[in-house]
Homo-oligomer: A and B are copies of this chain.
Amino acid sequence: MARTDRLMRLMDALRRLPVPVTAMRLAAETGVSPRQLYRDIATLRAGGALIDGEAGVGYRLTEDPALPPQSFSRLEIEALVLAVGELRQTGDAALEDAGRSALARIIATLADDQSRQAMHTVLRSFRSPPARVEPPVDMALLRRACWEELALDVSYRDLKGWVTEREVWPLGISYSDGTLMVLVWCCLRQDWRVFHAKGIENARLSGRSFRPRRVALLRDYAARRAASGPPAKA
């Protein structure tokens, strides 16, 4: 891949050399004819690089959206920003903070200062108003149980209002349509169930850990759902 490599070196030269830098100089730097240099510049521009060229002066690298191989595309960052913003709706503050923190770290790895600052600004601007709801249940406990594969004893009030006591193996937390949900293997029904978090009135560690492993159970669940449609709603 001689060409791709050369384009990388071109970008590097644009960043490194004192501005303005002439096409002739860049051509020498990358070992290519002036004509080809112009073509390479065109390629970079087509790829999103903002290279300012002025007749009689030279080139200036205005912005470096180093999208390709290394970093994230602009759309990907935008998607993550939007997605993390939605976490507020879950009412789970720890989760939201974690999302913001992860996102901040991702943004910090962006190549150039300018897009980094731009994304930070966007991130701050779109902070949605409080409007947060109380987490219906101890999400931290649920998460810990998922990760450490610990069985839980829960009191669960289903959508009809009936309360039952069960041992469940929590597999994951999901959020959709404004509702926090927990996927569990229900030892009472010997089947998968999706509990609404607000229905979990009491949850405590049973002291037992469950087997098979969480990942294996999830795989089974995914396979079964693929075979027979969505599961019953507990």
Binding site for B on A (CB under 8 A): 1, 4, 8, 43, 46-47, 66-70, 72-80, 82-87, 89-90, 94-96, 98-99, 101-103, 105-106, 109, 117-118, 121-122, 124-129, 143, 147, 171-178, 183, 214-215, 218-219, 221-222, 230
Q: A70-B106, A75-B98, A128-B174 provided; 7 other pairs, C-beta below 8 A?
A: A4-B68, A67-B70, A70-B109, A75-B95, A76-B102, A79-B84, A79-B98
Task: Tell me the interface secondary structure of chain A in the complex.
Answer: helix
* Residue contact A176 to B89, C-beta cutoff 8 Å: yes
Q: Cβ of A99: which chain B residues have Cβ within 8 Å of it? A: 76, 79-80, 82-83
- Least distance between A90 CB and chain B CB atoms (Å): 7
* Residue contact B109 to A106, C-beta cutoff 8 Å: no
Query: 9 pairs across A/B with beta carbons < 8 Å?
Result: A66-B69, A70-B106, A74-B147, A76-B102, A79-B87, A82-B87, A83-B84, A127-B222, A128-B176
Report the separation of the CA atoms of residues A182 and B47 in the bound assembly, to the nearest whole angstrom. Answer: 26
* Residue contact A174 to B85, C-beta cutoff 8 Å: yes
* Residue contact A177 to B89, C-beta cutoff 8 Å: yes
Interface core residue of A70, A76, A82, A129 (most chain B CB under 10 Å)? A82
Q: Cβ of A222: which chain B residues have Cβ within 8 Å of it? A: 121, 124-125, 127
Q: Which of B79, B84, B103, B218 contacts A125 (CB 8 A)?
A: B218
Q: Which of B46, B70, B95, B122 contacts A82 (CB 8 A)?
A: B95
Report the separation of the CA atoms of residues A75 and B90 in the bound assembly, to the nearest whole angstrom. Answer: 14
Interface core residue of A46, A86, A94, A122 (most chain B CB under 10 Å)? A86
Report the separation of the CA atoms of residues A84 and B103 in the bound assembly, to the nearest whole angstrom. Answer: 12
Q: Cβ of A74: which chain B residues have Cβ within 8 Å of it? A: 147
Query: Nearest B residue to A83 by beta-carbon distance?
Result: B83
Q: Which of B46, B86, B103, B121 contacts A218 (CB 8 A)?
A: B121
- Least distance between A226 CB and chain B CB atoms (Å): 10
**Known contacts A76-B99, A215-B121: does B83 contact A126 (CB below 8 Å)?**
no
